[in-house]
Amino acid sequence: MRVLVTGGAGFIGSHVVAALAAAGHDVSVLDSLHPAAHRGERPAADLDGVTVRLGDVRDRDTVDAALDGVDAVVHQAAMVGMGVDLADLPEYVGCNDLGTAVLLAGMARHSIRRLVLASSMVVYGEGAYACDEHGPVRPTARRRDDLSAGRFEPRCPRCDSPLRPGVVDEDDRLEPRSVYAATKLAQEHLADAWARESGANATALRYHNVYGPGMPRDTPYSGVAAIFRSALERGAAPQVYEDGGQRRDFVHVHDVAAANLAALHALDDRDTPGIRAYNIASGRPQTVADMATTLACAMAGPAPRVTGAFRAGDVRHIVASPRRAHDELGFTATVPPATGLAEFATAPLRA
């Protein structure tokens, strides 16, 4: 199958390209080398033998040229992370949503009907919660005065009691709480509309906290694992926000690449046009403080420092069930977080 990978020169995209090529697919790459992920990098003509076209998914002519002769698209190109501040908002919307719209319009012109979309767990906002008195509830956004006072757990909207976190699945309510999250959900909606109107099949892979070799170093757009590792390399203690008790699922990039391959192969088995979403997670959640401690021990560095600081738009707990991906895609993460984080301690990172 001839597969175009947008953003294929990036952290996750490059691993996806390698997995597709190893499986025998004819792979090409379209990447703009956006400075948020590729500071100072020079454009390369190929990526381990795979042709790289330098260009922006927001440009129609570039997209048309990249789609020529393609059977399927794996769309990884996006700005990620929390960003610097709201000045980033137009660039997030432009890269993620306008770029996706231009790509989908091009796919319609070229009659390409297979799409794997890189989405994110951030579309859920806060995870699933239950109140001891009122049962399952959806918390409102955490209040700044609570956060300032060190009260980090979401509270029941009916009785104001702290809530117990649970596990979300793909059919839970979607409630993005950051600019990045809003753009990822918009990508899913655009892909669903494109698929239904063109009789195509799209799969959205909701990545959890991806880490592994090739992550960008400490930038406002990096994942927390890279930020902690960069601190440890400087001999500094990782700075853990809130009380460190926020729960996440850290999934290795090799598993994420395998999930993309499984999703691509499963597209032809779908009978109904539209989009189908899958959580891509290790199934082994842990707290951010525990992750920082594991990494610090692996690097023989200083213990993490819990700061109590917080960021508007952060959520407290987001843990999701990987069952649908297992049942429908045949995908199960194979890299245990303890093993993967120990290897990550010495893995090469992007400049």
- How far, in Å, CA of 282 to CA of 211, rounded? 11
Closest CA to 246 of 297, 295, 310: 310
Beta strands in 243-284 (DSSP E): 247-248, 250-252, 274-280
How many CB atoms lie under 10 A from the CB of residue 87? 8
Phi and psi of 277, rounded to 5°? -105, 150
- How far, in Å, CA of 222 to CA of 239, rounded? 14
Active-site residue numbers? 180
Residues in Cβ contact with 224 at an 8 Å cutoff, skipping those fewer than 6 apart: 209, 248, 288, 291
Residues in Cβ contact with 297 at an 8 Å cutoff, skipping those fewer than 6 apart: none
